[in-house]
Structure 1
Amino acid sequence: MVAQCGGECSCATCHVYVEAGDVGEPAEDELDMLELVAAERRPQSRLSCQLRVGPELDGLVVRIPETQY
């Protein structure tokens, strides 16, 4: 995964599909960046740099789109 912005929510190159698990709702700036993703945007689309990882996400499944940018 490229993730060129280093977690700053400014490039959309870390686009993933969250298959299961409660990762919370995306903030407005993440929703704006999701408009720029190269792969198909889906309801489960998220920017991985914006997911807060903790023990509650143990077993979380994410898929990386074939095309990132």
Structure 2
Amino acid sequence: MVSITFIQHNGDEMTIDAEEGRSLMENAIAKGVDGIDADCGGGCACGTCHVFISEAYMDKLSAQDELEDAMLSMRPDREANSRLSCQVQVTEALDGMVVNVPEYQM
């Protein structure tokens, strides 16, 4: 299992054991992480699974494709480390990653 810590906007933290081969969103939903709405169920069609990835792990992720970039461009809170958690596949390289959840999902 891969250990990933989610930090809510209010500072509350939750560390989960994530399953490799599943998306970050799927793992968060399965473990009951608050703030990951995932209205489209992981189809990269809504942007409600937006997260901020810790800078130290950005180079360990696959590149954003055009669809993910388009979804994120609709968010006023987009940052350089913004990703849709449905598009982040959990691998062993992500062990110890910290993910911040935005104040609200749109």
Q: Which runs of 5 or more structure 1 residues have no equivalent in the other structure?
A: none
AA aligned to 2:88 is: L
Match of 1:29 among 38, 63, 67: 67
Q: Which runs of 5 or more structure 2 residues have no equivalent in the other structure?
A: 1-35
- Name 1:10's counterpart in structure 2: 45
Mapping of residues 49-68 of structure 1, within 5 Å: 49-68=86-105
AA aligned to 1:35 is: S
- Greater radius of gyration (CA): 2
RMSD over aligned Cα atoms: 1.1
What is the rounded CA distance, in whole Å, between the counterparts of 2:99 and 2:63 in structure 1? 15
Please list every run of at least 4 consecutive aligned residues from structure 1 whose deviation after the TM superposition is greater than 2 angstroms: none
Q: How many residues align?
A: 68
Q: Looking at secondary structure, tell me which structure has more strand per residue.
A: 2
Q: TM-score, normalised by structure 2?
A: 0.60
